[in-house]
Amino acid sequence: MTIKNKLRAGFGFLFLLAIVCSGLSIYFLNRLSADSSVILKDNHETIVYMRNIAVAIDQSNGQLNSDQVQAVESNLVKQEHNITEPGEQQATDSLRSKYEQLKLLGGDLAKQAYLRTELRALLFRIMKLNMDAEEHKNAVAKATAQSATILVALIGSFLFLVAFTFIINFPGYVANPLRELTERIKEISRRNYHQRLDFKSNDEFGELAEAFNNMTFQLNEYESSNLANIMFEKRRIETIINSMRDGIIGLNEKSYIIFVNTVACTLIGIPEENLIGRYAPDVALENDLFRNLMVADQKKIKIYADNRESYFSKQTQSVVSKDRVIGKVIILNNITEYQQLDEAKTNFIATISHELKTPISSIKMSLKLLEDERVGKINDEQKQLLGNIEDDSRRLLQITGELLDMAQVETGKLNLNFGSTHPKNIVDYAVKAVKFTADQRQVSINVQYDDNLPQVYADLDKTTWVLINLLSNAIKYSHEKSTVDLTIKKVKGDVEFSVKDHGQGIETKYLSRIFERYFKVPGSKAEQTGTGLGLAIAKDFIEAQSGKIGVESDLGEGSRFYFTLKKAA
């Protein structure tokens, strides 16, 4: 039966009981009132008639007067129409005959007295008959009232019990399944899909349970197939990661190691099972290489593993999901091959540039001799050509010089001659060196010093080379007749050299690459003339002296290159 029908039946039953109860009450009340009206009509009225007749008879001892006759007559007729009790008819008939006799009797007083006595006896008999009947009927009515009270009380109690049970059980009947359903749904929201509802009833709750169980079954199926897919994909990714030549280490957002591939394990020298699930800083404490990976800012790492030296470039990548960092991946790219090629290239460049320097110098020397008139007179056109050759050989010498410097830096053969010197020495030397070019372009160099500048601890030659390079660039990229500001000041205990021009400036997107080897801003003048090495070497020179080098620039406004040097102790 459906809940709807159950509710209908329940309420209908209660309604029926209420109707039965009130029907019975009305029935018994009617019966009681009928009983009392019967008593009143059947018996009480007879008693009244008898009393009226007795009063009329007893008013005189002699002949009945007309009032008395009428009173007796009318009451007797009423009585004759109100015969209700057994024996009453007979007594009433006797009463009629005795009365008729009394009426016809003459002045015989003795006879009259005798008839009156008989009449009274009859009257008394009829009255007694009716009084007895009254008493009996009263007893019957009392019994009826009593049984009505008991019946109504019984039905009322039954009704109360039914209603009480209904009130106690009905809310639970509706609410319990709903509560259980809520509990199960909460479990499902915790991804616990093994939920079942056991409502055995054949009603809507039964249907609900069936639908719910069906749903959890489907969810479970879906979850298991999903899980299987995820596991499969996980294995696939693990296989890919493991078959890579690069070392890969994955950390979660709390720096616990969540995966590490075979290459990384070999490099670190710790088996995978001893790494997974460990707190990375703890591993760093006991393993130098891991410490390097975690903390050191160096990009290139030399690792001695498998009886040979290998080079790896470290790349740390944050894993971001929905704008939240959920971990990071450290990738160790095996760059040994490139490193070897790079070294070979550097050695080659070093050798070539070194070898080129001597013939170029002798070309320059020969040019100087040719310019001397004692060697022979040359015409203007030849002079012009010789000038061109001299320019080119000067540039060639500069380029070979830069290449050699770079090779020295790269092979770690950079020898620095540290000494304590005043910044002014560096500035004077550099400004003198670029004066000719500046004058040619009518660019004035505006030098400004802080007062009381300290001595710096630096390699005078290399630092001067850097400043010359920055000044040359500034002049090269300045508009004609503009100014280059060279400022030297104290910054946080160091000394900063700043070269600011008012030229074309550099686009922001190129700023981070400006110190890279061979990088030239596309479309700039230096693209045709320079090597793109000057700033890279300058960076190496400055960083080798524990200084910092940097650039700021606004396109169309100019650029500011600066570097710092440690002050002398």
Asked whether position 498 contacts ligand ADP by CB under 6 A, the answer is no
Of the two residues 199 and 477, which places its CB atom closer to ligand ADP in the complex?
A: 477
Q: Nearest approach, Cβ of 394 to ligand ADP (angstroms)?
A: 14
Kindly state whether residue 526 participates in binding ligand ADP, applying the rule CB under 6 A.
Answer: yes
Least spacing, CB of residue 434 vs ligand ADP, in Å:
13
Options 24-32, 69-77, 412-420, 529-537: segment touching ligand ADP (CB under 6 A): 529-537
- CA–chain centroid gap for 135, Å, is 89
Cα(136)–Cα(39) distance, integer angstroms = 10
Choose the stretch contacting ligand ADP; rule: CB under 6 A; options: 24-32, 231-239, 260-268, 532-540. Answer: 532-540
DSSP 368-428: HHHHSTTT----HHHHHHHHHHHHHHHHHHHHHHHHHHHHHHHTT-PPP-EEEE-HHHHHH
Q: Which is nearer to ligand ADP, 204 or 485 (CB)?
A: 485
Residue 535 engages ligand ADP in binding (rule: CB under 6 A): yes
Start-to-end CA span in the chain (Å): 100
Residue among 473, 498, 545, 564 that touches ligand ADP (CB under 6 A): 473
Pairwise CA distance, residues 345 & 237, whole Å: 37
List the structure tokens of 170: 């009905």
| Shortest distance (Å) from residue 501 CB to ligand ADP | 5
Segment contacting ligand ADP by CB under 6 A, of 169-177, 196-204, 412-420, 497-505: 497-505
Candidates 5-13, 291-299, 520-528, 541-549 — which segment interacts with ligand ADP by CB under 6 A? Answer: 520-528
Shortest Cβ 522–ligand ADP spacing (Å):
8
Binding residues with ligand ADP: total (CB under 6 A): 22
User: How far apart (Å, rounded) are the C-alpha atoms in residues 45 and 463?
Assistant: 149
**Residue type at position 190:** R
Nearer to ligand ADP, 35 or 485 (CB): 485
Cα separation, 248 vs 242, in Å, equals: 8
Among the listed residues 79, 559, 562, 563, the single contact to ligand ADP using CB under 6 A: 559
If binding is defined by CB under 6 A, does position 116 make contact with ligand ADP? no
- Please say whether the beta carbons of 555 and 477 come within 8 A: no
CA 300, distance to chain mean position in Å, is 40
Shortest spacing between CB 261 and ligand ADP, in angstroms: 39
- Contact indicator for 235, 253 with CB cutoff of 8 Å: no
Query: Which CB, 547 or 558, lies closer to ligand ADP?
Result: 558
- The rounded distance, in Å, linking the Cα atoms of 150 and 80 is 40
| Cβ proximity to ligand ADP, 209 vs 533, nearer residue | 533
Determine the Cα–Cα distance for residues 89 and 83; give it in Å rounded to an integer: 6
Neighbour-count burial of 147, counting CB atoms closer than 10 A to its CB (0-12 exposed, 13-18 middle, 19+ buried) = exposed
Q: Is 474 in the site for ligand ADP (CB under 6 A)?
A: yes
Q: How far apart are CA 218 and CA 555, in angstroms?
A: 63
Does residue number 206 form part of the binding site for ligand ADP (CB under 6 A)? no
Q: Is 423 in the site for ligand ADP (CB under 6 A)?
A: no
Q: Considering the rule CB under 6 A, would residue 540 count as an interface residue with ligand ADP?
A: no
**Smallest gap from residue 493 Cβ to ligand ADP (A):** 27
Q: Which residue among 292, 532, 544, 568 contacts ligand ADP (CB under 6 A)?
A: 532
- Contact with ligand ADP (CB under 6 A): which of 133, 270, 506, 565? 506
Distance CA 452, CA 489 (A): 9
**Beta strands across the sheet bearing 494-500:** 444-449, 483-491, 494-500, 558-565, 549-554
Helix residue ranges, H only, 59-108: 66-80, 88-104
Rounded least distance, CB 315 to ligand ADP, Å: 25
Angle at 383 between CA 381 and CA 386, to 5 degrees: 115
Q: Which stretch binds ligand ADP (CB under 6 A): 94-102, 212-220, 331-339, 519-527?
A: 519-527
Q: Which residues bind ligand ADP (CB under 6 A)?
A: 469, 473-474, 477, 501, 503-504, 506, 514, 519-521, 524, 526, 530-536, 559
